[in-house]
Amino acid sequence: MTNEAEMTQDQTDHAASGIIVAIIPARGGSKQVPGKNVTRIGGIPLIQRAVRAAAAAERVDLVVVSTDDDKIAELSVAAGARVIRRPAEISGDTASSESAVLHALDEVESGGVTVDVVVFIQATSPFIPSDRIDVAVDEVRSRQYDSMFSAHETYGFLWRRDDAGAAVAINHDAAGRPRRQDREPHYLETGAFYVLEAEGFRHAGHRFFGRVGIVEVPEWSAVEIDDAQHVAVASALAGLVDQPVSIDVKAVVTDFDGVHTDDTVLVDTAGEEQVRVSREDGMGVARLRRAGIPMLILSTEVNPVVRARANKLRVPVLHGIDDKEQALAAWAAENGIALADIAYLGNDVNDLPAMRIVGWPVAVANAHPEVRSAARVVLGKSGGQGAVRELIERVLTADRPR
C-alpha cells in the first residue's frame, strides 16, 4: 500500500482522478466456524491476513474493513485498516457482500474522496497473492476490463448428479476422455478477491459486470475457509508459505523443556536430573539482553534446573506455572507490553493457550503437530539445538525504529 510520499509519478497522476480502495466485508457471525474471521491461520487472524495482503499491494491506497463486530474491528485497526461499522440491516445471514461493499464505498466517498477502483477482498481466503491484486488493478484501471476475479487454471473433469442421483458429465464427453494436452483449460473462481471499476459496480450492484476478466493465481492460494477441515488444511499449508525472514516484537517469551532443552532428562543413581542445553542459545540470549529486548522463561516444570539455567542466562523465570496464558498476560500487563508485540516459543500442547494470545506464536522444528499448526513461524532448529538462538536472530534482524 502506498502513501502520498511514496507514490510514483504514475500513481500521483492517477490519484488526482480517484484512489484504489480495498474493501473487506467481515461479519461477526458464522455458523460453520464460530468466530471465523478471527480464526488464526499460521498464528494470524484471518481478518489481519486479509488486511495485510491488501496493504502489501502496491496499487492499493486505502484498506477498509466493513464489520459489525468489535473484535474484528480491533484486529483490523491493529493491522492498519480503517474500520467502517456495518449497519444492522446489512449484517444478517441473508445480507449480500455487495451491500456491505457498496455501503463502505459510500462512506469513503462521503469524505470528499473519489474512488476509481474497488478491490473487494474476502477474509476467508488466507493466502491472497498481493502481486496479483496489482495485476488486476492495472487491467481495470486501464479499462481493459470492467471487473476481474481471481481464479486458477484447472483441467479437472466436472460432474453433477441428475434428479435420480446418476452422474452426468458437465465439461467433457464421458465416452471419449481426451488427454490433458488435448483439453481446453477451465478456470475455478477462488473467491479471494474481485477488482471492480467503481462507477460500473455502483450501477450494476454486483461483482460481475461489463467486460469480465480473469486474473490467474496459484492453485495453492485457493484455500477458502468454510469449515473446520479447511482450517486444518490452511494451518498445515501456512507453515510452508508464510515463513517471514524477521520477527518484529518487543519481547520474547519461551517455554523451557523442549525449547531450551532437547526434551530429554539424564537421571543419576541419586535421582538427580540433568538436562542438555545449547551454548549458542546462551549467546543469543546475551545478544537479546544487550539489545534491550525483555525476555521471560515460562515453564510448568518445578525442577530447580529451570531456575538455575535462567539465572545463568540472567533472564527472569516463572516456573511451576499451570496456566501459562494467565501468567503471560499478567507479565505483559505488568511490563506494559502489548500481547501483539510478544513472540512466544513453544513445543508442546501445554503451550497452545499462551501461543494463541500473542502476536507471534513460534514453534521449534520438532514441536507437536498441533503446535506447528498454531504457529505463525516454525523454526528450522529443534529444541536444545539452537532454536532459541534462531528465534532471537530473527528478532534482532527486524527493521525497527532506532
Is residue 170 one of the residues assigned to a domain?
A: no
Is residue 264 one of the residues assigned to a domain?
A: yes
Q: Are 332 and 338 in contact (CB under 8 A)?
A: yes
Is residue 401 one of the residues assigned to a domain?
A: no
Q: Are 53 and 121 in contact (CB under 8 A)?
A: yes
Which of 192, 220, 241 is the endpoint of a domain?
Answer: 241
For the ranges 3-17, 289-303, 335-349, the one whose mean pLDDT is highest: 335-349
**Which domain range does residue 151 map to?**
4-155+184-241
Same domain, 295 and 218: no
Is residue 168 one of the residues assigned to a domain?
A: no
Is residue 300 one of the residues assigned to a domain?
A: yes
How many angstroms separate the CA atoms of 242 and 377, rounded? 7
Is residue 163 one of the residues assigned to a domain?
A: no
CA distances (Å), 109 to each of 13, 116, 147, 197, in order? 19, 10, 20, 14
In 3D space, the residue among 178, 239, 253 whose CA is nearest the CA of residue 365 turns out to be 239
Alpha-carbon torsion angle 329, 330, 334, 336, nearest 10: 10
Same domain, 328 and 384: yes
Tally the domains of the chain: 2
Same domain, 215 and 340: no
**Amino acid residing at 73:** A
Same domain, 334 and 198: no
Same domain, 356 and 237: no
Residues 6+ apart with CB under 8 A from 215: 132, 135, 136, 139, 148, 149, 150, 151, 195
> What phi and psi, each to the nearest 5 degrees, are found at residue 233?
-65, -45
Same domain, 337 and 220: no
**Amino acid residing at 379:** L
In 3D space, the residue among 251, 20, 38 whose CA is nearest the CA of residue 140 turns out to be 20
Same domain, 222 and 144: yes
Rounded mean pLDDT of 250-270? 88
What confidence score (pLDDT) does residue 6 get?
46
Same domain, 150 and 110: yes
How many angstroms separate the CA atoms of 313 and 45, rounded? 33
Same domain, 228 and 193: yes
Q: Are 388 and 277 in contact (CB under 8 A)?
A: no
DSSP 31-76: SSSTTGGG-EETTEEHHHHHHHHHHHSTT--EEEEEES-HHHHHHH
Other CB atoms within 10 A of residue 221 CB:
19
Is the pLDDT confidence value at 183 over 80?
Answer: yes
User: What is the per-residue pLDDT across 36-69, written as a single tens digit (0 to 9) for each?
Assistant: 999 999 889 999 999 999 999 999 999 999 999 9
What confidence score (pLDDT) does residue 188 get?
95
How many angstroms separate the CA atoms of 204 and 147, rounded? 11
**CATH, residue 382:** 3.40.50.1000
**CATH, residue 123:** 3.90.550.10
In 3D space, the residue among 352, 381, 342 whose CA is nearest the CA of residue 364 turns out to be 381
Same domain, 262 and 356: yes
Which of 241, 272, 288 is the endpoint of a domain?
Answer: 241
CA distances (Å), 229 to each of 222, 352, 367, in order? 15, 19, 21
Same domain, 208 and 327: no
Is residue 402 one of the residues assigned to a domain?
A: no
Is residue 232 one of the residues assigned to a domain?
A: yes
More confident residue, 172 or 103: 103
Which of 220, 241, 262 is the endpoint of a domain?
Answer: 241
Q: Could you give the percent of the chain with pLDDT greater than 70? A: 94
User: What is the per-residue pLDDT across 92-149, written as a single tens digit (0 to 9) for each?
Assistant: 888 899 999 999 999 999 989 999 999 999 999 999 999 999 999 999 999 999 999 9
Is the pLDDT confidence value at 297 over 50?
Answer: yes
Is the pLDDT confidence value at 32 over 50?
Answer: yes
Same domain, 262 and 237: no
Name the DSSP class of 131. Answer: H
Other CB atoms within 10 A of residue 355 CB:
27
How many angstroms separate the CA atoms of 131 and 135, rounded? 7
Q: Could you give the percent of the chain with pLDDT greater than 90? A: 71
Query: Predicted confidence band at 9 (pLDDT cuts at 50, 70, 90)?
Result: very low
> What phi and psi, each to the nearest 5 degrees, are found at residue 116?
-95, -45
Is the pLDDT confidence value at 334 over 90?
Answer: yes
User: What is the per-residue pLDDT across 218-250, written as a single tens digit (0 to 9) for each?
Assistant: 999 999 998 888 998 998 888 778 766 689 999
